[in-house]
Amino acid sequence: MTFKKSEKLYKKGLKNLVGAVNSPVRAFSSVGGNPLFIKKAKGTKITDVDNNEYVDLVLSYGPMILGHRHKKVQKGVEKALKNGYSFGASTENEIKLAKIVCDAFPEMDKVRFVNSGTEAVLSGIRLARAFTGKDKIIKFAGCYHGHQDALLVAAGSGLATLSLPGSKGVPEGAVKNTLIAEYNNLESVKKHFEDDDNIAAVIIEPIGGNMGVVIPQNDFLKELKEYLETKNALLIADEVMTGFRSKFGGAQDLLGVTADITCLGKVIGGGFPVGAYGARNEIMQEVAPLGGMYQAGTLSGNPIAMAGGIATLTELKKQNPYQKFEEIGGEIETILLDSAKKYNVDLIVNRFGSMLNPFFTNSEITNFEQAQTSDTGKFSVFFWEMIKNGVFLPPSQFEAWFLSSALKEKDIKIIKKAVDKAMLAVSKM
């Protein structure tokens, strides 16, 4: 397998693109080597510019849940393209997609479409502040909620530490109202409320997807929601990644929790840039033009993105692939664990529905600190061996793998063969 054309494009891209990429994880910094440049995709497969074909477990980080270029999604988008690309005005499809989304989330009466997950979260937090009249928010170490200033923060050494900027260009003043807690640790949340009565909301990924796949333990989410109700603070569920991935609706429903505000993205655009935030009427009436919380966007509700979302969710509901995801996810988890055992490699696999992630460690992973015990050097070797054997993975230990409903048994065989070779290579380190 050769990557010569990708290497050539990488060098060419360095001139006019930052690091030759438009998103940092694409630079392959954490796994070494040059990034791959993709030419096309169809179904379960993605093909790079050197014509190397891979079973795709990245799926554009989640939205290609039906596989690439599904015929019904393509048909819906092509139909919309004939009418124009953008109007800066309302369209009927915005209403249609809003109904599909709200029907899938019982706690959501109204939704507002935006252009990205980052924008959805930014707006959801502003809405929580507007509704409660409070300023501060709590986020969890290891949960990523987009690149807005207020959430680009890193936790200190304590369980309940005031945040510090986690990126250059983010002044301390921008994060002064952001507090950090530890995922799966309710006491770290309570500590903040004991010290401060100006907390509007807690934001959380119901399933952590940016520190690997990390799952709430021992009714953590339920107890968190119950506690917040006693403090008149809101729960914001960032389901940009998990929305429609574990059921036709939100992971919060499977976990027995009803968030006050839900943020969405990924799947609801079917591969096009879309985000959304929604809540019950009482909260959403704060949003302009009904209320005083201003948020706007010329491209919000873009007709092409709405068409892609409607086609994707309509087909997804028809397929109802969630039992299939559970079975295939379990099969891949077993493949990983059996191979690790065969070659005496320490490995833990976390999985929730159609999201999974292997960690090269022998310790359980329930928070970001534990996730960081994974041997990233072993992951880098594993990653490149998987690539060389025809499986496309996220180039980071801390990014979830995703499944599509297009996966077939022949794809699983490719994955199994690649895992065996990759785990053998890891065992020789």
Give the catalytic positions in this structure.
Answer: 144, 238, 266
| Of 153, 141, 144, residue with least CA distance to 184 | 141
Instruction: Assess contact for 278 and 261: CB atoms under 8 A.
Output: yes
What are residue 17's phi and psi, to 5 degrees? -115, 150
CA–CA dist 169, 164 (Å, integer): 12
Instruction: Assess contact for 74 and 81: CB atoms under 8 A.
Output: no
Lay out the sheet containing 401-402: strands in order across: 348-352, 355-359, 401-402
Instruction: Assess contact for 67 and 43: CB atoms under 8 A.
Output: yes
Instruction: Assess contact for 352 and 207: CB atoms under 8 A.
Output: yes
Q: Burial code of 235-269, b = ≥16 C-beta within 10 A, e = fewer?
A: bbbbbbbbbbbbbbbbbbbbbebbbbbbbbbbbbb
What residue spans of 133-244 are helical by DSSP H? 186-195, 220-230
